[in-house]
Amino acid sequence: MADPVLTSDRSSDPAPLDPASRTICHVCQKQFSQYTCPRCNSRYCSLQCYKSHSVRCTESFMRENVVEELQHVQPHDKTKRKMLDILKRLHSEEEEEEEDSMDEDGVDSLSEETIRKILSGDQISFDDLSAEERKRFQRALASGELSKMIEPWDPWWFKPSARKIRLGQEGNQLVQPINEESSSQSLEDGEESSSSNEIPPGPEAPLPPIRKLSSTEPSPLLPVHLVDIIYSYCFTLRLYNGDWRSDPIGSSMVVLSISLVLGHGGQPETVLEALSHCLEQTCSPAYKHAGGLRFGIALVDDTVSILSLGTDALICLLCDLQRLLQGAEKEMRLEKGRMPRRAEIKSQLKLARRKVYFMMCWAHEQPDEVWSSLAALVRAEKDIAVAHGESKRYAKSAEKPEGTGKVLIEEIQ
């Protein structure tokens, strides 16, 4: 009688010369197993069976190896060569796997030319990628995998230097003479010099009195409108990870889409109405990926923090927003290709820029007590919104009830 064959799941290594104690491969069910997967304890007989026994095990094993190597990469030729060898090895293993098992996804590794560009520090554009690499990039972008690789931006309004912003009496930048001593001192003290660059600068020219810009008294609703503008600015900077200059036109379109005052010609009469519109836009399908209502509540906190910094910080914010809109206008003048609704967008940008400048001049004439009171009001409305979100996860509808003008907030996830 033939010796019985055991199919035990025990992970202990059997004696190689004892057939009675050996286990059949869990993958091919033909050969005796000689190895055990360190992740799932599955028994297998060969490299081919290991690769096909569990995609989760093999992919995570390769990913962890690559990540571990990347953590030790240093900018010198020896390390670059080592990294290139690792990527080549993974590339060849994937090619062998495709030939043997005809991978269902048909995903290729990065081309050797692309790898060399990355390791040499050259910039890689979308056009440099192969057709399959572009598909992989788009899948990673859609799944949010790429966002995990970007270091989160630390907003300037949370920096300690934001509480030390000082502008001139006319709202413009203070002129500080630079001599050789102060220049050398700033080079030695890198921390201090960097802190001065992390805050957006204020206006270069003095701000005119508000009476010279308009013959009528400013609207009493301007504080409410300012809340709308601050929220839209914070949303845009967080969405672009602090770098609106990478895409002035795109970032300006975000500002106009979020702001009821700048982009929709609206005039909210209460802080609740202003925040409701901003939160509704934040939770809309267009920005669903940004984080929904939680992200919106965090932006309300940003608005409160900025108001708490006082007049000079608000002027710097509005000045930065003005530069953003000016940058978009400049890009559109240089843009040679056709753009849908070009004339309409240019008109919107121009009008929005003028509104921001008017708001800047108005804010310059307001005492700090105005901002502390406004911050308290925004904080109170935020607490109401949070309590509403905890008691009811979704609002029934974004429709306006009859007889009221309030806008309900709908969270879309």
In order of their start, the domains of the chain are 21-71 (3.30.60), 119-148 (no CATH), 161-173+199-398 (no CATH)
Reported confidence tier of residue 197, pLDDT bands at 50, 70, 90: low
Residue type, 204: E
What is the distance between the alpha carbons of residues 378 and 366, in angstroms, rounded to a whole number? 18
pLDDT beyond 90 at 221: yes
Q: Which amino acid is at 136?
A: R
Given a cut of 50, whether residue 119 has pLDDT beyond it is: yes
Mean pLDDT for all residues in the chain? 75
- Say how many C-beta atoms besides its own lie within 10 A of residue 266's C-beta: 15
Tens digit of each residue's pLDDT (9 = 90 or more) over 322-354 = 999 999 999 888 876 666 777 888 999 999 999
Whether pLDDT at 313 is above 90? yes
Q: What is the pLDDT of residue 85?
A: 61
- Which range, of 32-46, 289-303, 355-369, 390-404, averages the lowest pLDDT? 390-404
Residue with tokens 């990673």: 140
In the predicted model, is pLDDT for residue 113 greater than 60?
yes
Q: Looking at residues 168-188, what average pLDDT do you find?
A: 60
Buried b (16+ CB within 10 A) or exposed e, 111-145: eeebbebbbeeeeeeeeebeeebeebeeeeeeeee
Residue 406 pLDDT class (50, 70, 90 cuts): very low
User: Which two tokens mark 185?
Assistant: 């001192």
> Between helices 222-239 and 271-282, what is the axis angle to 10°?
20
Q: Which of the listed ranges 48-62, 167-181, 304-318 does the model predict with the highest average pLDDT? A: 304-318
* Predicted local confidence at residue 128, as pLDDT: 73
